Amino acid sequence: MPSCFTLDSAISSSSASDGGRRTAQGQGWPAGVGGFLSSFFSAGAARADGGKPPPDWDAHGLAASALPVPLSRLDGKKRYKVSELAFLDRRTRAAAAAEDPLFGVYTRAQLRDELDALAASGMFDHVTLQTKPKPDGTLGLTVSYAETEWPAVEHFKCINVGGLMAPPDDDEHDMTARERMEHLRRQEREYQQLVRRAKPCIMPEKLQRELQGMVKKQRKVSSGLLKRMAGRIERWYHDEGFQCAQVVSYHGNLDAGEVVEWGHHQGGFVDKLGNVVDGNTSIPLIDRELPHQLRPGHIYNNGAGKQALKNIDSLGLFSTIEVQPRPDETNQGGVIVAIKLKDHDRKSAQVITDWSIVPGSQGRPTLASIQPGGTVSFEHRNICGLKRSLIGSVTSSNLLNPEDDLSFKLEYAHPYLDGIDNRSRNRTFKISCFNSRKLSPIFVAGPNMYEAPPIWVDRIGFKANITESFTKQSKFTYGLVVEEITTRDENNNICTHGSRQLPSGALSMIGPPTTLSGTGVDRMAFLQANITRDNTKFINGATIGDRCIFQMDQGLGIGSKNPFFNRHQLTVTKFINLNKQEKGPRKPPPAVLALHGRYAGCVGDLPSYDAFALGGPHSVRGYGMGELGASRNLLEVATELSVPITVKNRHTQVYAFAEHGTDLGSSKDVKGNPTEFFRRVGHGSSYGVGVELGAVRAICRFACSTVAKSYAIFGVYIGS
């Protein structure tokens, strides 16, 4: 007996691909081992080739007795029902019951075949089978055995035999002694070649040392030791997501073998009835989304399959995605992964209408106008099967006469700018035409003033940019923006200056200029760049990690009064997992401390509509948009602590936050000083507490500044 031993295993997607398993050297579990007896000994053996007979059975016809009855006394024509199965180890004299005895109906020949299979396996010595007649006409079976033991093992190593597994052996019963000897020699040569061609083992060193410790502790190798080692190996693979892994054979050397590669992947599309058809999407486009571990020559892992599902779903091109692994019939131990996809509709159009409801003369709700507002949109996605898209939308508060406040957007996206086959770079080109209208937060009154007349900012132009993705979340965008900006009052007239209401009720029209040119209309062109570094992740619904965003706009001196400027801002946010909560199903979210900082500044020409507004839901919570001021530079800091709690077996969270923002004294550097004109302070703080129940968030906020007294606001919100 050599002083080296081998335990080989392989990944396959089915444990019943053949009637039994045999080793390259004829040792281990032979093809006959696989019935109910071997189920107790084997680490996952399949059923015997003959299978179980029909459920009809015959009474044994013997006198019920505590004394065992030899197998030879059973009637060969009867079908006996087994109702008790016990195993007796002659060395330890310990009895054990089968975990899954597989009680059933068997003939005497089938019971003898089971006994012969165990005896011929080489794993047990002196195997005997005794029957015990029961009063109800069934049989009890007792299997006596002694585990085969081999000399002490001096050497142990791990190899990967996946995808190299030898086909099942030919039947040796019809061979002569000479042919059988040649067959065994050929098997030995094939096995040695398999070991030389084996790939590196992926089991960690810690596990390999644990297996070595099991061997050294027992010294002699027994079938029980092999079973424990096989169970430990399979448990590690299953815990790591290799659900197809199983030990399939024991060899005469103890190199702990391991697991397979998968054969290849197949992609296909299905129609509404599930029939395979030609799809609209390029196969190379799908192939580039597959994880590296899900490619030919690598070990199949459930985690890689789930990642492939997630990556393909992120394309947004398919309504149905199925990842189906199956055994490769042409490559023993290999796996074929079939990916079935169903395309979304490539063209779509949608009309959304809405009516505004306001209080009537007697407080009853009534329509503000019978003329509906709404949005008309269309989309043509996956052009040429390469994920290119053309999207357009038109929005107006009066669809019957949309000239007053018409806004539109038309965007064309061209991904994989460097080609689908170039996987080193992932760049997307986008060009869009837009016409948008937003309420300016610069021309709003302070907390101690009457409400100021609103100023609307209309922008019309086009933007072309290229986005390069480094990871799924981190990217770099750069491009050109050309636009015309028009400021209008609430009557849709061009407005050149801001205004405020005097105590007398009259309007002061000598406010800050609304545009750089002073005419109410500006035209400009500038370069824009944005880089995002984001390594955040979700742990049980909570965001953990870091996010950093830097944006810069560089004026080109083209347009009204040749604007030349550099506008920039940096945002840094960190989410800290305070209690080191691990990710897992049904686990609560971690306690999270969020730290946030934002700096923004501008050098050069700065029109009022591009000044930085201080205050609002994304600036300093507790204040309205721009309520604290309008500045050339600003600094914001914020922190929030959220703690999970359980209410009626449901996870929720309570949180507290504090925020502060300041204009760094730069409000006076904005043309016309909107902060001073509208009597705003230029800095402020807020703090508060809240509770979140699903999508409902209740917040009690406190806001304070040097001009306005502290005040509290309580609100209930849907969403974050």
Predicted confidence (pLDDT) at residue 720 exceeds the cutoff of 60:
no
Highest mean pLDDT among 65-69, 80-84, 500-504, 630-634: 630-634
User: pLDDT at position 177, please?
Assistant: 77
Mean pLDDT is highest, among 15-24, 183-192, 592-601, for 592-601
The model's pLDDT over 562-571, given as tens digits with 9 standing for 90+, comes to: 999 999 999 9
pLDDT the model gives residue 28 = 39
Residue 515, both tokens: 């545009």
**Stretch 427-445: mean pLDDT:** 94
Of 36-50, 510-524, 644-658, 699-713, least confident by mean pLDDT is: 36-50
Please check whether residue 44 is in contact with residue 73, taking contact to mean a CB–CB distance below 8 angstroms.
no
Banded model confidence at residue 200, pLDDT cuts 50, 70, 90: low
- What letter would DSSP give residue 114? H
Q: How many other C-beta atoms lie within 10 A of the C-beta of residue 410?
A: 16
Mean pLDDT, range 318-338, rounded to an integer:
79
pLDDT at 45 over 50: no
Q: C-alpha angle with apex 583: 577 to 589, nearest 5 degrees?
A: 55
**Sign for the pseudo-dihedral over CA of 463, 468, 472, 473:** negative
CB hemisphere CA count around 483 (13 angstroms): 21
pLDDT at 428: 96
Q: What is the CATH number of domain 415-718?
A: 2.40.160.50
Cα dihedral across residues 436, 442, 447, 450: positive or negative = negative
**Quick check: helix, strand or coil at residue 406?**
coil
Give residue 468's pLDDT.
Answer: 96
User: What is the pLDDT averaged over residues 626-648?
Assistant: 91
Average of per-residue pLDDT across 372-378: 88
| pLDDT exceeds 50 at position 27 | no
DSSP collapsed to 3 states, 395-408: EECCCCCCCCCCEE
Q: Are 258 and 201 in contact (CB under 8 A)?
A: yes
Backbone φ and ψ for 454, nearest 5 degrees, come out as: -70, 150
Residue 508 and residue 500 in contact, taking contact as beta carbons nearer than 8 Å: yes
What's the average model confidence in pLDDT over 2-10?
42
Query: Where residue 588 falls among pLDDT bands split at 50, 70, 90?
Result: confident
Highest mean pLDDT among 156-170, 219-233, 705-719: 219-233
Q: Report how far residue 660's alpha carbon sits from residue 640's, in angstroms, rounded to the nearest whole number.
A: 12
Residue 515 amino acid letter: T
Residue-level pLDDT at 355: 82
- Reference 441, options 185, 706, 619; nearest CA is 619
The answer, yes or no, to whether residue 718 has pLDDT greater than 80, is: no
Where does the pLDDT of residue 95 fall: very low under 50, low under 70, confident under 90, or very high at 90 and above?
Answer: low
Residue-level length of the chain: 720
Q: What is the pLDDT of residue 46?
A: 34
pLDDT above 60 (res 129): yes
- The pLDDT-based confidence of 673 (bands split at 50, 70, 90) is very high
- What band does 283 get if pLDDT is binned at 50, 70 and 90? confident
Which of 203-207, 451-455, 494-498, 617-621 has the lowest average pLDDT?
203-207
Examine the pLDDT at 580 and tell me if it is beyond 80.
Answer: yes
The pLDDT score that the predictor gives to residue 262 is 42
Question: 353-383 burial by CB neighbour count: b if 16+ within 10 A, else e?
Answer: eeeeeeeeeeeeeeeeeeebbbbbbebebbe
484 within 8 A of 523, measured Cβ to Cβ: yes
Mean pLDDT of 93-97: 55
Highest mean pLDDT among 21-25, 381-385, 693-697: 381-385
Max CA-CA distance within the chain?
120
Burial of 114 (0-12, 13-18, 19+ CB in 10 A): buried
Please list, residue by residue across 656-677, b when 16 or more beta carbons sit within 10 angstroms of its beta carbon and e when fewer do. Answer: ebebebbbbebbeebbbbbbbb
Which of 188, 252, 195 has its CA nearest to residue 226? Answer: 252
pLDDT of 51 > 60? The answer is no
In degrees and rounded to multiples of 5, residue 102 shows phi and psi of 55, 55
Query: What is the average pLDDT score of the chain?
Result: 78
For residue 561, what pLDDT is reported? 93
Strand 264-270 relative to strand 335-343, pairing = parallel
pLDDT of residue 47: 37
CB 642 within 8 A of CB 653: yes
Is pLDDT of 37 > 60? Answer: no
pLDDT of residue 48: 38
The reported pTM is 0.68
Task: Please state the φ and ψ torsions of residue 110, each to the nearest 5 degrees.
Answer: -70, -40
Asked if 435 contacts 405 with a C-beta cutoff of 8 angstroms, the reply is no
Residue 320 sits at φ, ψ, to 5 deg, of -135, 130
CA nearest to 279, candidates 289, 290, 271: 271
- Give the pLDDT band (50/70/90) at residue 516: very high
Residue 657 one-letter amino acid = F
One-letter amino acid of 23: T
Query: Is a pLDDT exceeding 70 seen at residue 427?
Result: yes
Pairing of strands 427-439, 407-414: antiparallel
Pull the structure tokens for residue 121. 């396996």
pLDDT of 49 over the 50 cut: no
Which two tokens mark 180?
Answer: 């059988």
**Mean pLDDT lowest among 80-89, 496-505, 711-720:** 711-720
Could you give the angle at the alpha carbon of 473 between the alpha carbons of 467 and 475, nearest 5°? 25
Domain edges within the chain: 1-259, 264-343, 415-718
Give 259 or 444, the one with higher predicted confidence.
444
Average pLDDT over residues 177-191: 79
**Half-sphere exposure of residue 212, counting CA atoms within 13 Å on the CB side?**
12
Mean pLDDT (whole number) for 524-549? 94
Split at pLDDT 50, 70, 90, the class of 488 is: very high
HEC string for 306-358:
HHHHHHHHHCCCEEEEEEEEEECCCCCCCEEEEEEEEECCCEEEEEEEECCEE
More confident residue, 643 or 697: 643
Residue 616 tokens read as 């609002």
Q: Where are the beta strands (DSSP E) in 397-520?
A: 407-414, 427-439, 456-469, 475-488, 500-501, 507-508
The CA distances from residue 696 to 195, 594, 648, 703, 716, in Å, are: 61, 20, 16, 22, 7
In terms of pLDDT, which residue wins out, 660 or 107?
660
Q: In the prediction, which pLDDT does 249 show?
A: 61
Answer with the residue of higher pLDDT: 604 or 92.
604
More confident residue, 601 or 237: 601
**655 has pLDDT over 70:** yes
Top-tier CATH class for 264-343: alpha beta
Residue 579 or 203, more confident: 579
Three-state DSSP class for residue 500: strand
Secondary structure (DSSP) of 21-74 = ---TTS-SS-TT--STTHHHHSSS----TT----S------S---SS-EEGGGS
Whether the CB-CB separation of 444 and 624 falls below 8 Å is answered with yes
Mean pLDDT of 346-372: 80
Where does the pLDDT of residue 212 fall: very low under 50, low under 70, confident under 90, or very high at 90 and above? confident
